[in-house]
């Protein structure tokens, strides 16, 4: 029997289960959204229109005929994964299904248990990383710079995921388009020797003697730099520590180019922060690849950590192509409908709001200087605070958030700064 023929009864069952367990009943427009999601569409639903409860309908229908496969609901962060799983859990339980969720600190046994449920909530990063770790557990041959390594699954270490049957993605345009080329990597530690550390330190010092557009070309769009025919011999002629005598010129050129990129393209408090060793816990375990992380460490004159290689990798785009069925939700998908169709074969459906929308969109405002813009933001915050309305201000960098904080403090506006330095 085609699964589509069960849609009416299944959705009616979900709607009644939701009413009896959590006191919420799907609106007709949410049922329409659930139908579109079952058909493999990406639905555009406005914020506040109930995407979380809408997702239960297609997830339930996809899970019913194939017990043992599991369905994955992709959320934006760990908090939402846990919240949504617990909030919708009573509905699934009433329908005879189990639900689990993935959190970053979880160990393998906890993850295996969460994936054994009929419904599993989690982020794209965590589920993609678990997919890669399972590849290593099953046995993957990996080529590194120094040797060919074979990773094989031990007898006592089983995979945590059961397969890739159905994924329903929240904020689908952000994950499937904006982050599509983001590479998920399981890294390998490659300890530094004395020669490598000296080369990293020397490469940073060498950049101070090079002239842009003469010795090297910097490409801002690609955030990279490369030496010219004038710069290469200049590098070779510079005085070097004796430890570098055994290093070939190509490797020296590569490290100097990375040092140039670290100096020109990556800015402290915008792309990275320098924290105290005893208290810093920012993005623990994550590093830039190909020596760039070590180049930035050399630039900041902090201890150089071990370089990382790659055990296995996959892009976000290719990870979601592993699923047999794929669907998604977002509030802004129409603009990306061509990319979603071309890349994933997904159609976009616009779901109307349950009530007429009262939200109004203001016209963009332009300012001649950044200072004028920040002062206008502070004026707006003061006006909103006078009417007892809280304000969340998003900034592109750490230093911008702190600059706004100084202006707010000068005006006597009570505020909190939440950035990479303050958890």
How many other β-carbons are positioned within 10 Å of the β-carbon of residue 148?
8
pTM over 0.75: no
- The pLDDT assigned to 335 comes to 86
Q: What is the pLDDT of residue 288?
A: 64
**What does the mean pLDDT of the chain come to?**
86
Close Cβ partners of 262 (under 8 Å, ≥ 6 residues apart): 204, 292, 295, 296, 298, 299
Kind plus residue range of the DSSP H or E element containing 186: strand 183-190
- Say how far apart CA 308 and CA 291 lie, in whole Å: 8
Task: Decide which of 3.40.50.1820, 3.40.50.300, 3.40.800.20, 3.30.450.20 is the CATH code for 3-186+314-350.
Answer: 3.40.50.300
Residue-wise pLDDT tens digits, 262-302: 888 887 767 766 654 433 345 555 666 656 677 777 777 77
Contact 185, 310 (CB under 8 A): yes
Please write the tens of the pLDDT for every residue from 313-346.
899 999 999 999 999 999 888 888 999 999 899 9
Q: Which CATH superfamily is domain 194-305 in?
A: SecA, preprotein cross-linking domain (3.90.1440.10)
User: Backbone dihedral region of 246: left (phi > 0), alpha (psi from -120 to 50 degrees) or beta?
Assistant: alpha
With tokens 């990383």, the residue in question is 129
Q: What is the dihedral of CA 200, 187, 421, 197, to 10 degrees?
A: -10
Identify the pLDDT of residue 273.
67
The domain limits of the chain are 3-186+314-350, 194-305, 362-423
Residue 191: per-residue pLDDT? 66
Instruction: Give the dihedral sign, CA 130/136/142/148.
Output: positive
Amino acid 158: pLDDT: 86
- Contact call for residues 175 and 74 (beta carbons, < 8 A): yes
| Per-residue pLDDT, 266 | 81
What is residue 221's predicted lDDT score, i.e. its pLDDT? 84
What's 178's DSSP letter? I
**pLDDT < 50 stretches in the chain:** 141-155, 276-281
pLDDT for position 123: 95
How far is C-alpha 118 from the geometric centre of its chain's CA atoms?
A: 25
Predicted pLDDT of residue 119: 95
Q: What do you get for the CA distance between the two ends of the chain, in Å?
A: 52
- Chain segment 91-137, per-residue pLDDT in tens: 999 999 999 999 999 999 999 999 999 999 999 999 999 999 999 88
């Amino acid at each position: 029997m085609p699964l589509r023929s069960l849609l009416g009864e299944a959705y009616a069952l979900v709607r009644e289960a939701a009413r009896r367990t959590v006191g919420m009943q799907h609106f007709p427009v949410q049922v329409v959204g659930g139908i579109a999601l079952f058909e493999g569409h990406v639905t555009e639903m406005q914020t506040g229109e109930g995407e979380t409860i809408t997702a239960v309908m297609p997830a339930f229908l996809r899970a019913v005929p194939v017990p043992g496969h599991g369905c994955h609901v992709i959320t934006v962060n760990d908090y939402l994964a846990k919240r949504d799983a617990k909030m919708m859990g009573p509905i699934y339980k009433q329908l005879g299904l189990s639900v689990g969720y993935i959190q970053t600190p979880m160990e393998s046994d906890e993850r295996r248990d969460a994936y054994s449920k009929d419904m599993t909530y989690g982020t794209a990063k965590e589920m993609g990383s678990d997919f890669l770790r399972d590849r290593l557990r099953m046995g993957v041959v990996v080529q590194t710079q120094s040797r060919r390594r074979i990773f094989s699954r031990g007898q006592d270490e089983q995979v945590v995921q059961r397969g890739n049957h159905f994924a329903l993605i929240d904020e689908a345009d952000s994950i499937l388009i904006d982050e599509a080329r983001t590479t998920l990597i399981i890294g390998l530690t490659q300890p530094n020797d004395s020669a490598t550390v000296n080369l990293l330190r020397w490469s940073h010092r060498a950049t101070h003697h090079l002239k842009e557009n003469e010795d090297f070309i910097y490409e801002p769009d690609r955030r990279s730099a490369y030496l010219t025919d004038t710069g290469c011999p200049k590098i070779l002629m510079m005085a070097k520590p004796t430890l570098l005598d055994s290093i070939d010129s190509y490797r020296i050129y590569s490290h100097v180019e990375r040092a140039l990129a670290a100096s020109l393209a990556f800015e402290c408090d915008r792309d990275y922060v320098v924290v105290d060793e005893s208290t810093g816990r920012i993005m623990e375990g994550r590093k830039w690849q190909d020596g760039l992380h070590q180049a930035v460490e050399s630039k900041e004159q902090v201890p150089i950590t071990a370089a990382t290689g790659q055990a296995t990798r996959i892009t976000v785009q290719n990870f979601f192509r592993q699923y047999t069925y794929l669907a998604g939700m977002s509030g802004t998908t129409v603009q990306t409908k061509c990319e979603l169709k071309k890349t994933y074969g997904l159609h976009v459906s616009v779901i109307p709001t349950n009530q007429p929308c009262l939200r109004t969109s203001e016209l963009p405002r332009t300012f001649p200087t950044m200072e004028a813009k920040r002062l206008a933001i502070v004026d707006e915050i003061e006006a909103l605070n006078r009417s007892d309305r809280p304000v969340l201000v998003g900034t592109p960098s750490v230093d911008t958030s702190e600059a706004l904080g100084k202006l707010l403090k000068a005006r006597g506006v009570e505020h909190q700064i939440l950035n990479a330095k303050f958890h």
